[in-house]
Chain A
Amino acid sequence: MEILLALMVGILYGTGIYMMLRRSMVKLILGIILLGNGANLLIFLLGRITKGAPPIIGSDAKVFVEAFADPVPQALILTAIVISFGLQSFAIVLVKRAHTVVRTDDLDEMNATDEDS
């Protein structure tokens, strides 16, 4: 399971970075989304995967007696998902707006900011 997830994280990071390096703005957004998902999975993976042991203390005990799944990574992922959702929706609107104004999808043609003025 860990190996599979590790491969998955690697693929997501790799494709995400690759997409961000393309010249198209749409691919840029796809890259951001993939990278965000990769980061979320990485938190999940590095928080150690414990199967079938919810972090609930039984009624007959005061502390955990056995290994339990760490709830913190899931809280972190949830936060990160919500944040990246917001950012991604902003990105889509921004890119759409930029496309209407600049009339291009090619990032290499976006050089008005480098002009000497």
Chain B
Amino acid sequence: MNEQLILYPLFLQMAISIILMFGWARIKFQKVFSVFGSIVSLGLAIILFSYIWNNGTQTIQAGNWEAPFGITFVADMLSVTLVLLTAISGLAVSIFSGASVLKDRLRFGYFPIFHFLLLGLNGAFLTGDIFNLYVWFEIIIISSFVLITIGGEKAQLEGAVKYFTLNILASMIFLTAIAVLYGITGSLNMADLAGQIAEVENRGLVQITALLFLIGFGIKAGVFPLYFWLPASYHTPPFAVSAIFGGLLTKVGVYALIRVFTLIFVDDPFLNNIIMIIAILTLISGGIGALVQNNMRKVFSYLIICHIGYMIAGLGMFTEMAIAGAIFYLIHDIIVKTNLFMISGVVYRIKGTNSMRDLGGIYAKWPKISLLLFIPLFSLVGIPPLSGFWPKINLIKAGFTNESYITVGAIIFASFITLVIIAKMWAEVFWKEDKELPLRSNFGYFSKMTSAKRMQFVVPVALLSIVSLYIGFGAEHIQELSARIADELVNSQGYIDAVLKSKN
């Protein structure tokens, strides 16, 4: 009976979207119900998480078709951790959307689509079937297309065309990879594929398939030569949409890379070398890209790319410690990146612009809020004991044991550049003398809001900041969790056994 617990997060998100659709024109109802549903789904995610933590990997076979023939859903530690993080960010963004997204946009079904996006994310994390993963990816991208275009401003549509094209291309490449994979093994179940791929004699074909997966997921994750769609589109939609995109969408690509390259295409030196090179170039190019930007959201977009490099580097080194570092970074990054885009939303509301050149003096006017925004900004840099610091220890240690000194150098370089960027941002946005900007008519400035509405901006930022602080100060727990996930990923036999030898 408890196996069905795995599917509840999916059913819940779907039910929320459907109920929200019935209240299509009633925005107030949608706002309240979306937050309520997100709280329930957070509770459910916590229950699922503690259940898997105590009982180990659980599986459920759709329609009771035995694996590898049916579609399998698998909840291992990595999946449930990501489901939990999705629920946390989902709750924060849901509160944030209610106040920050304009009414005209909410009226076009913003909330139902938002919950469909969360449904797709949960599904992608929980599925154990590679074609099913493709379907969840499509659910994610079609929802994200609607969210990115909702409102239809000029910049938004231009960003959407770029975002759309590259994501469709990534899906096509992913589909091609699945076709080749099915051609050489005749299976789609990821646990079954792990065994089948090891026995294929034509290693060249296997490597080509792996590269197709790497390109397909790489576009979605935003790694080095494939990331140009990301800074062209992430700063165009409403802030709440940027927040959920920045926090979770690229991370689905990273999750898929981690899953496929620890389970199916395991420890191939050729592939690991390519992944390492990509990681190093991603770290450097993302960092340098962020350095020259002026728009806050563009800076954060480039920082997303830069920090994807850490996770990919951990995957490329392929030792338990390195993967633990990558997972720790993933956990920290989802929370912080969601928060950063919400911060840029708060700043936008205070001053009416996101251009760092024009901003300034926020600390003098809003000291309490500035201190709150300080936490995520400097968590990102990883000043100890804040959360970004701990995973880097793992990664650098693993780099030294692997004797891949260039990677260590790139990791340190990227951390340094992040520090420079965030320090510059802090100085420009918060400390610099206030510049009198022409007041915009018809704009809901933060100072003119009622305190109830202000709380809707501050509470989600505070919520995620508290989670960040917990990740930083309770690093021991997160370290234990990521070590356990890394152990499960490296010794994937447990996952395979759980899927193929399950009772039903």
Interface residues of A (CB under 8 A from B): 20, 25, 28, 32, 35-36, 39, 42-43, 45-48, 70, 72-73, 76, 79-80, 83, 86-87, 90-91, 94-95, 97-98, 101-102, 107, 110-114, 116-117
- Number of B residues whose C-beta is below 8 Å from A? 41
Option from B142, B157, B180, B183 in Cβ contact (under 8 Å) with A86: B142
Option from A35, A36, A46, A101 in Cβ contact (under 8 Å) with B180: A46
Contact A94-B236, Cβ < 8 Å, known A35-B172, A73-B182: no
Decide if A79 touches B172 in the complex (CB within 8 Å): no
Write 30 A-B pairs (CB below 8 A) sorted by A numbering: A20-B165, A28-B165, A32-B168, A42-B180, A43-B175, A43-B178, A48-B183, A80-B134, A80-B175, A86-B142, A87-B141, A90-B164, A91-B164, A91-B168, A94-B145, A94-B149, A94-B160, A94-B161, A94-B164, A98-B158, A102-B158, A110-B158, A110-B162, A112-B154, A112-B158, A113-B155, A113-B158, A113-B159, A116-B294, A117-B294
A79 surroundings in chain B (CB, below 8 A) = 131, 135
Residues facing A in B143-159 (CB within 8 A) are 145, 149, 152-155, 157-159
How far apart sit A114 and B161, CA to CA, in the bound complex (Å)?
A: 13
B278 surroundings in chain A (CB, below 8 A) = none
Whether B179 sits at the interface, judged by CB under 8 Å, is yes
Output the residue of B161, B169, B188 with the most chain A CB within 10 A.
B161
Contact A39-B138, Cβ < 8 Å, known A28-B165, A94-B160, A102-B154: no
Closest 6 CB pairs of A and B: A46-B183, A43-B179, A98-B157, A110-B158, A39-B175, A42-B179
Decide if B162 touches A113 in the complex (CB within 8 Å): yes
B394 surroundings in chain A (CB, below 8 A) = none
Contacts A47-B182, A79-B135 supplied; 11 other A-B pairs, CB < 8 Å: A39-B179, A42-B180, A46-B180, A73-B182, A80-B175, A91-B164, A91-B168, A102-B154, A112-B154, A113-B155, A113-B235
A72 CB to closest chain B CB (Å) equals 7
How far apart sit A44 and B355, CA to CA, in the bound complex (Å)?
A: 51
B161 surroundings in chain A (CB, below 8 A) = 25, 28, 94-95, 98, 107, 110
Decide if B235 touches A76 in the complex (CB within 8 Å): no
Whether B176 sits at the interface, judged by CB under 8 Å, is yes
B117 CB to closest chain A CB (Å) equals 15
Whether B250 sits at the interface, judged by CB under 8 Å, is no
Decide if B160 touches A112 in the complex (CB within 8 Å): no
Residues facing A in B105-143 (CB within 8 A) are 131, 134-135, 138, 141-142
* Mask: chain B, 467-488; 1 = CB below 8 Å from A; 0 = not: 0000000000000000000000
How far apart sit A70 and B183, CA to CA, in the bound complex (Å)?
A: 11
The secondary structure that dominates the B interface is helix
B178 surroundings in chain A (CB, below 8 A) = 43, 76
A114 CB to closest chain B CB (Å) equals 7
How far apart sit A99 and B287, CA to CA, in the bound complex (Å)?
A: 34
How far apart sit A111 and B157, CA to CA, in the bound complex (Å)?
A: 11
How far apart sit A87 and B179, CA to CA, in the bound complex (Å)?
A: 20
Output the residue of B175, B178, B355 with the most chain A CB within 10 A.
B175
Option from A32, A39, A73, A98 in Cβ contact (under 8 Å) with B176: A39
Whether B272 sits at the interface, judged by CB under 8 Å, is no
A74 CB to closest chain B CB (Å) equals 12
Decide if B157 touches A94 in the complex (CB within 8 Å): yes
Option from B135, B141, B157 in Cβ contact (under 8 Å) with A102: B157
Decide if B131 touches A83 in the complex (CB within 8 Å): no
Whether B233 sits at the interface, judged by CB under 8 Å, is yes
Which residue of chain A lies nearest to B169 when distances are taken between CB atoms in the complex? A20
How far apart sit A32 and B161, CA to CA, in the bound complex (Å)?
A: 12
Contact A43-B182, Cβ < 8 Å, known A86-B142, A94-B149, A113-B159: yes
How far apart sit A36 and B176, CA to CA, in the bound complex (Å)?
A: 10
How far apart sit A73 and B182, CA to CA, in the bound complex (Å)?
A: 8
Decide if A112 touches B155 in the complex (CB within 8 Å): yes
A20 surroundings in chain B (CB, below 8 A) = 165, 169
Contact A90-B176, Cβ < 8 Å, known A76-B131, A83-B138, A102-B154: no
A32 surroundings in chain B (CB, below 8 A) = 165, 168, 172
How far apart sit A98 and B186, CA to CA, in the bound complex (Å)?
A: 42
Decide if A87 touches B142 in the complex (CB within 8 Å): yes
Which residue of chain A lies nearest to B135 when distances are taken between CB atoms in the complex? A79
B370 surroundings in chain A (CB, below 8 A) = none
How far apart sit A101 and B236, CA to CA, in the bound complex (Å)?
A: 15
Whether B232 sits at the interface, judged by CB under 8 Å, is yes
* Mask: chain B, 162-206; 1 = CB below 8 Å from A; 0 = not: 101100110110011011101100101000000000000000000
How far apart sit A43 and B235, CA to CA, in the bound complex (Å)?
A: 37
A82 CB to closest chain B CB (Å) equals 10
Whether B492 sits at the interface, judged by CB under 8 Å, is no
Option from A90, A95, A114, A116 in Cβ contact (under 8 Å) with B145: A90
How far apart sit A20 and B233, CA to CA, in the bound complex (Å)?
A: 18
A3 CB to closest chain B CB (Å) equals 16
Decide if B165 touches A83 in the complex (CB within 8 Å): no
B235 surroundings in chain A (CB, below 8 A) = 113
A12 CB to closest chain B CB (Å) equals 11
A86 surroundings in chain B (CB, below 8 A) = 142
